Amino acid sequence: MNTSSKALDGGSIFGFIADLFHRHHVQGLLVGGYALVANKVQRTTFDIDFMMTAEDCAKLEAELLTAGYTVFSRVEAFIQFKANQAGLRDLDFLLTDAHTLERLITEGLKVQIAGEQFIAPSPRHLIAMKLHSIGGNRKREMKDLPDVVQLMIANDIDPKTEDIRQLFERHNTMDLYQRVVDAVGNRQ
């Protein structure tokens, strides 16, 4: 029985991932579309995104390749695995340092998906991640800024608080701050 049999034989891809993480003693933070859903924002998503250390990702790579994945893209802080077998889903891994990951996991939300437990970022951390993404690549604004607004509305976060304003400042997105304040104010 190969390592992907749990996913390929009708089991959940999330069961496969949880088992993989457990066997390799890997901590992964659920990010992306599933993290938005965990934070009360509706999103359709096809891939599954995790944040982890590069060391932990390296522990998984050989088994992912054996299970039916190929490396689609690899840059310094991001690896995409493309699923080439039925029952698997594309996986994206954002790479970070151990200190950042531990803080996000410690303050994160426990979420159950297909009977498996994962940790997703808190709403404020997810907002910070979205702003960081926009600040680093302005092409992400159209996708990520509506998520910021929806996260604030769904989680009753007042964008006019000093800690939220500072997030925009820290991530070089102050030019978007008033737009978010206005959008959230119109929906709350």
Are 38 and 114 in the same domain?
A: yes
Question: Last residue of some domain: 121, 142, 157?
Answer: 121
pLDDT band of residue 49 (cuts 50, 70, 90) is very high
Are 16 and 107 in the same domain?
A: yes
Q: Could you tell me the CATH number of the domain that includes residue 16?
A: 3.30.460.40
Instruction: Summarize pLDDT for 55-82 with one digit per residue, the tens.
Output: 999 999 999 999 999 999 999 999 999 9
Are 104 and 22 in the same domain?
A: yes
Cα 184 to Cα 188: distance, rounded to the nearest angstrom: 6
Question: Last residue of some domain: 106, 121, 136?
Answer: 121
Cα 84 to Cα 70: distance, rounded to the nearest angstrom: 7
Instruction: Summarize pLDDT for 135-145 with one digit per residue, the tens.
Output: 999 999 999 99
Cα 59 to Cα 55: distance, rounded to the nearest angstrom: 7
Q: Which residue has the tokens 């820290």?
A: 170
Are 31 and 113 in the same domain?
A: yes
Are 76 and 103 in the same domain?
A: yes
Cα 102 to Cα 69: distance, rounded to the nearest angstrom: 27
Are 97 and 11 in the same domain?
A: yes
Mean residue pLDDT of the chain comes to 92
Are 111 and 131 in the same domain?
A: no
Are 22 and 111 in the same domain?
A: yes
Report the predicted TM-score, pTM, of the whole model to 2 decimal places. 0.89
Question: Last residue of some domain: 87, 121, 155?
Answer: 121
Total structural domains in the chain? 2
Are 148 and 116 in the same domain?
A: no
Are 113 and 54 in the same domain?
A: yes
Are 19 and 55 in the same domain?
A: yes
More confident residue, 106 or 86: 106
pLDDT band of residue 187 (cuts 50, 70, 90) is confident
What is the span of the domain harbouring residue 180?
125-187
